[in-house]
Amino acid sequence: MKHVHDRKIIHRDIKSQNVFLTKSGMAKLGDFGVARVMNNTRDLAATVIGTPYYLSPEIVQSNTYDMKTDIWSLGVLLYEMCACKPPFNGENLHMLAIQIVSGNYQAVPNQYSLAFKNLIKKLLTVDAKKRPNIEEVISDPLIAKNAKRLMNEDDFNVEFKKSMQHAQNIFEKTKEKLESQVSGKQP
């Protein structure tokens, strides 16, 4: 998903049926039939598209959305993998929509770590502005540790070092700005 979002693409149909496993056990995201390429990362889309169980609250409410709609769908997918059922379910589309917008779902089964439960909770944040972006997701210690373990070093460096460097640059600029404000100098 990071690879896709880095290229300003919203997948818009992340679900278990669109995740494929290779012979070597690598998971790959497929079926880009309804994906949308954005002009820049701040663009918003408005088309209602996707599989109902995986729709984000912003799509259900016919609001504009961005790449964080894919983050929501990832949360639904991870929950579904743990609980063997989707987090939101209704007798009809209207009831499903109400559940999605409320953001209320049964707890993730107890056999999963608190860190994993908290990750799913972050991904299923109803307010898209508070939902993490892909950079924040991969910075989660649980994801970063496992990504490094599952990827060869070259692939890891290509996909993750840029993000980590970007985050470091933001931190350094913020630190410099704060230091200059304390000292009264312009950055």
Helix (H) or strand (E) holding 9: strand 9-10
Distances (CA, A) of 90 to 20, 53, 105: 27, 9, 12
* Cα 134 to Cα 149: distance, rounded to the nearest angstrom: 19
User: Higher pLDDT residue, 12 or 80?
Assistant: 80
Q: Evaluate whether 50 touches 93 at the Cβ level (below 8 Å).
A: no
pLDDT at position 104 is 92
The pTM (predicted TM-score) of the whole model is: 0.71
Q: Evaluate whether 14 touches 30 at the Cβ level (below 8 Å).
A: no
What does the pLDDT look like over 18-55, one tens digit per residue?
878 888 777 776 765 444 444 544 444 434 444 688 88
> What tokens were used for 83?
């609980």
- Work out the average pLDDT over 134-140: 87
CATH number for the region 2-131 comes to 1.10.510.10
Confidence of residue 160 (pLDDT cuts 50, 70, 90): low
Confidence of residue 113 (pLDDT cuts 50, 70, 90): very high
Distances (CA, A) of 169 to 1, 65, 85, 163, 184: 22, 27, 40, 10, 22
User: Higher pLDDT residue, 132 or 167?
Assistant: 132
Known catalytic residues are: 13
Poorest-confidence range of 50-54, 158-162, 167-171? 167-171
pLDDT at position 170 is 38
* Residue in 46, 83, 80 with CA at minimum distance from that of residue 66: 46
